[in-house]
Amino acid sequence: MEPTPSQLNAQHCRNFVTTLHTTPYPAIDPSRVKLPSPFFVCIIGGRGAAGGGIARAYVQAGVSGLILAARTRSGLEETANEVRSISSTIKVVIQICDIAVEKDLASVAQIVKTEFDGRLDVAVVNSGYTGAMVCDVAKESPEDYQTAFNVNTIGSFYAAHHLLPLLEATQSSAMSFIAINSMASPTVSGMGGHAHYCVSKAAQARLVEMINEQYSSRGLFCASVHPGGLMSGFIKHDLPENIKKMMNDSPNLVGAFCVWLSTPDFSERQRTALNGRFLSCKWDVSELEERFDEILKKDLLRFRIAMD
């Protein structure tokens, strides 16, 4: 059977550049970065595979302090202990937070004010939810659909609502809001086409586009980032074997990519070309830079209704 236009679109997105990575490589090696001091990062969902990888990368780049927020303390303690083993001088603050509860995000913002004097250079939203992969709307769980939107979409709004003012007030040269998204966003069919996850992640990416429209003129960089295929703790069900085989990327890759996106040395051309767009940490950044002119001319890597 010939692939549908929607399937082709998703495949073209996955393979936007020729070279796809599974581990960090020299061009985005966070240990080669020297972040200024002070430099503070908040990671909502600062535990598990991606959360740990992101935290480690910022510590390797010399971050001054981290706020790690998630629903369970045990996972946060594990990440905190790991980053302290990399740097004994880093300040790590743990905050219990359910991203689907608005007052919890207000508490995170308050922690930034009390622990870091209100300074915030980068906010990373990494929390996510997916239920069983049932590719039939009539058979999917309504509870999974509601929870996916509460966590993936509404929670991202709560994070933006409370953290964007802190980013803007800091006026850091890095000022970045990064949402960890998924290649599910451009997916509407095939083995991964389960509505609750794909639709909520597409909505999250659209929210990031709107943040870009409203805040890029104020100096903010934002992006939706596919973290690669990770065996993450938020997956609460057994995956089909053909999907499991794709979950072989290092969580350090998405961490290195996030650091690359949010360093103060990120050029104006890079920020302009990638701001507000859907990106994959697997894409080779040198090959991605070769497509900057095309991205800007055709306004690629955004969601829109095709009219021609």
Q: Does the pLDDT value for residue 241 go beyond 70?
A: no
Question: pLDDT averaged over the chain?
Answer: 92
Residue type, 179: A
Q: Does the pLDDT value for residue 239 go beyond 70?
A: no
- Evaluate whether 162 touches 108 at the Cβ level (below 8 Å): yes
Q: Does the pLDDT value for residue 26 go beyond 50?
A: yes
Per-residue model confidence as pLDDT tens digits over 62-101: 999 999 999 999 899 999 999 999 999 999 999 999 999 9
Work out the pLDDT band at 192, boundaries 50, 70, 90.
Answer: confident
| Mean pLDDT for the stretch of residues 189-213 | 93
Q: Rounded CA gap, 53 and 46, in Å?
A: 9
**Class of residue 105 by CB neighbours under 10 A (exposed 0-12, middle 13-18, buried 19+):** buried
CATH among 3.90.1150.10, 3.90.25.10, 3.40.50.720, 3.40.1160.10 for 34-298: 3.40.50.720
Q: Rounded CA gap, 120 and 177, in Å?
A: 10
pLDDT of residue 190: 76
| Mean pLDDT for the stretch of residues 185-207 | 91
**Class of residue 268 by CB neighbours under 10 A (exposed 0-12, middle 13-18, buried 19+):** exposed
Q: Rounded CA gap, 116 and 129, in Å?
A: 29
pLDDT of residue 234: 47
Q: Does the pLDDT value for residue 219 go beyond 60?
A: yes
Q: Where are the domains of the chain?
A: 34-298
Q: Does the pLDDT value for residue 233 go beyond 70?
A: no
Q: Does the pLDDT value for residue 265 go beyond 90?
A: no
| Mean pLDDT for the stretch of residues 277-284 | 98
pLDDT of residue 243: 59
Residue type, 29: D
pLDDT of residue 232: 62
Residue whose entry in the numeric block shows the structure tokens 């802190």: 166
pLDDT of residue 245: 60
Q: Does the pLDDT value for residue 238 go beyond 60?
A: no
pLDDT of residue 242: 57
Q: Which of 127, 192, 184 is nearest to 153 (CA)?
A: 127
Q: Does the pLDDT value for residue 194 go beyond 70?
A: yes
Alpha carbon 78 to chain centroid, angstroms: 20
Higher pLDDT, 118 or 194: 118
Contacts of 187 (CB under 8 A, 6+ apart): 10, 193, 198
Work out the pLDDT band at 236, boundaries 50, 70, 90.
Answer: very low
Contacts made by residues 188-193, CB under 8 angstroms, sequence distance 24+: 188/6, 188/10, 189/4, 189/6, 189/7, 189/135, 190/7, 190/10, 190/135, 191/133, 191/135, 191/240, 191/242, 191/243, 192/133, 192/243, 193/135
Per-residue model confidence as pLDDT tens digits over 145-173: 999 999 999 999 999 999 999 999 999 99
